[in-house]
Amino acid sequence: MQLEKLEYCQFEGQPNEWKLEGATFENINLIVGKNATGKSRVLNIIGSLANILSRARKLPYLNGKYKVHFKKNKKSIIYSLEYKEEMIIKEKLVVDKETLMTRMSDGKGKIVSTQFKEKMNFQTSINEVAAFTKRDSIQHPFLDDLYTWAEYLIHFRFGTPLGKDKLIALNRTKTDKSESQIDLKDTNEVLRKLQEGINKFGSKFISQIRKDMASLGYEIKNIELGSPVSFRIESGLQKAPLCLIVKEADLKGKTDQNDMSQGMFRALSLIVQINYVSMSKVSSCILIDDIGEGLDYERSTSLIKLIVKKAKDKAFQLIMATNDRFVMNNVALQHWSIINRLGNKSVLYNSVNSKNLFNEFEMIGLDNFDFFSSNYYLKGLRK
């Protein structure tokens, strides 16, 4: 299932109202824009929606109104959710123009029973999302589509450590956690995903990581979990903490995660985790904020090309955000969504809703970054 369109409003009708408009998505997407236009906010909204639909957690904001369009093969899925002061006001699910679930502010609603072919009444808590609490693969299998998309959406914030400051205590040959206990959404759990990937896929997993790192200019002979080589830990644990260690081709000794540059570790962590979910065939959508942050030009551009290729080959949806010119120049304009802030709303423009403008610029022959830096994208855009 793929995210196709997102309409969102926060604090509607109030002085601090904020809206998102024009947010349509293809399989590969790059959101570009100036600082404070809402790039990260868009990814956070998508990530928060996934948490709402897959985890029994509190609503992420005090106030929110979603209308989300998905497509699965030829099936149209529209999910709506509105809440205020952390209380659900309305919730609705429509599949191929048929309303399968509705609920109101008192928690009462109706949901189609696939088994009995009729609408059933239900009552849920006023602050719980029915799309999550009413999941039942026999009675309401249509809710599984929402859950699966949400559970396997992963939000990477490339400017963060991505697990560089984390160690784990594991057996060297077998994980203490089963695969089902690994939190795919936790992008700091790179060591557990590495160990589980080795257990499940063996040398194929390591070979793919080495190949991907080589495409970025990092020649690595081996990657493993082991005792740190650059520092000592007095932990008092029964099992000594392990860290990520690589053997670089041009160095005699090994390098542990503590001695790796932040840029190298971020790239390695991202590659390990994306390969793990790809080989496990569980990824639905990958969000990457500040992609390429901390990497030089060549490695930044190589990483972008690698991730885009994996999105095409592995059929997961990719949504990235950046204001880095290197990134912009290495993602085709057809994948761009330019975000522009107009007062209390952020508007996205892309080749779907502003087709003529994008086609016109491509004929000029300038770099993609010029489309953004020259404010050419503002030409003829709706106000």
C-beta of residue 192 within 8 angstroms of C-beta of residue 205: no
Q: Is residue 232 one of the residues assigned to a domain?
A: yes
User: Average model confidence (pLDDT) for the chain?
Assistant: 89
113 and 146 co-located in one domain:
yes
Q: Is residue 139 one of the residues assigned to a domain?
A: yes
Domain that includes residue 215, residue range? 179-263
Q: Is residue 279 one of the residues assigned to a domain?
A: no
Q: Is the dihedral of CA 270, 272, 273, 276 positive or negative?
A: positive
259 and 288 co-located in one domain:
no
pLDDT of residue 382: 45
40 and 131 co-located in one domain:
yes
C-beta of residue 142 within 8 angstroms of C-beta of residue 95: yes
pLDDT of residue 331: 86
Say whether pLDDT at 179 is over 50: no
Taking the C-alpha atoms of residue 17 and residue 230, their distance in angstroms, rounded to an integer, is: 51
Interstrand relation of 108-113 and 98-103 (parallel, antiparallel or unpaired): antiparallel
Residue 16 — very low, low, confident or very high, per pLDDT cuts 50/70/90?
Answer: very high
Q: Where are the alpha helices (DSSP H) in the chain?
A: 39-54, 130-133, 142-151, 190-201, 203-215, 262-280, 297-314, 325-328, 355-364, 368-373
Taking the C-alpha atoms of residue 348 and residue 340, their distance in angstroms, rounded to an integer, is: 6
Q: Is residue 164 one of the residues assigned to a domain?
A: no
pLDDT in tens, 39-86: 999 999 999 999 999 976 678 788 999 999 999 988 999 999 999 988
235 and 342 co-located in one domain:
no
Find where tokens 């892309």 sit.
Answer: 350
pLDDT of residue 375: 67
What is the distance of C-alpha 253 from the center of its chain? 35
Of residues 352 and 264, which shows the higher confidence score? 264
Say whether pLDDT at 108 is over 60: yes
pLDDT of residue 234: 66
Q: Is residue 158 one of the residues assigned to a domain?
A: no
Taking the C-alpha atoms of residue 220 and residue 213, their distance in angstroms, rounded to an integer, is: 7
* 196 backbone dihedrals φ, ψ, rounded to 5°: -65, -35
Q: Is residue 65 one of the residues assigned to a domain?
A: yes
pLDDT of residue 210: 97
Say whether pLDDT at 126 is over 50: yes
Q: Is residue 278 one of the residues assigned to a domain?
A: no
145 and 183 co-located in one domain:
no
Closest CA relative to residue 183, chosen from 168, 193, 173: 193
Mean pLDDT confidence for 76-98: 95
The neighbouring-strand residues paired with 346 are 20, 341
252 and 126 co-located in one domain:
no
Taking the C-alpha atoms of residue 320 and residue 304, their distance in angstroms, rounded to an integer, is: 10
Q: What is the side-by-side strand order in the sheet with 220-226?
A: 220-226, 243-248, 255-256
Domain count, the chain: 2
Say whether pLDDT at 334 is over 60: yes
* 270 backbone dihedrals φ, ψ, rounded to 5°: -60, -45
CA distance to 222, 231, 263, per residue, from 257 (Å): 14, 11, 11
126 and 224 co-located in one domain:
no
143 and 290 co-located in one domain:
yes
Instruction: Please report the DSSP string for 179-214 in residue order.
Output: GGGS-TT-TT-HHHHHHHHHHHHTHHHHHHHHHHHH
69 and 207 co-located in one domain:
no
pLDDT of residue 297: 86
Taking the C-alpha atoms of residue 368 and residue 103, their distance in angstroms, rounded to an integer, is: 46
28 and 142 co-located in one domain:
yes
Between 50-64, 159-173, 227-241, the lowest mean confidence (pLDDT) is in 227-241
Q: Is residue 342 one of the residues assigned to a domain?
A: yes
C-beta of residue 188 within 8 angstroms of C-beta of residue 164: no
**What would the two tokens of residue 180 be?**
């089902």
Residue 273 — very low, low, confident or very high, per pLDDT cuts 50/70/90?
Answer: very high
Residue 275 — very low, low, confident or very high, per pLDDT cuts 50/70/90?
Answer: very high
Closest CA relative to residue 102, chosen from 119, 86, 85: 119
CA distance to 35, 362, 366, 377, per residue, from 351 (Å): 22, 11, 17, 11
C-beta of residue 27 within 8 angstroms of C-beta of residue 2: yes
Could you give the percent of the chain with pLDDT greater than 70?
91
pLDDT of residue 208: 97
Of residues 329 and 305, which shows the higher confidence score? 305
Domain final position from 208, 228, 263: 263
pLDDT in tens, 354-367: 888 788 777 776 67
Say whether pLDDT at 159 is over 60: yes
10 and 143 co-located in one domain:
yes
Residue 245 — very low, low, confident or very high, per pLDDT cuts 50/70/90?
Answer: very high
pLDDT of residue 351: 86
Residue 383 — very low, low, confident or very high, per pLDDT cuts 50/70/90?
Answer: very low
Residue 133 belongs to domain with CATH number: 3.40.50
115 and 183 co-located in one domain:
no
Taking the C-alpha atoms of residue 57 and residue 79, their distance in angstroms, rounded to an integer, is: 18
Could you give the percent of the chain with pLDDT greater than 90?
66
Instruction: Please report the DSSP string for 36-104 in residue order.
Output: TSSHHHHHHHHHHHHHHHHS----SSSEEEEEEEEEETTEEEEEEEEEETTEEEEEEEEETTEEEEEE-
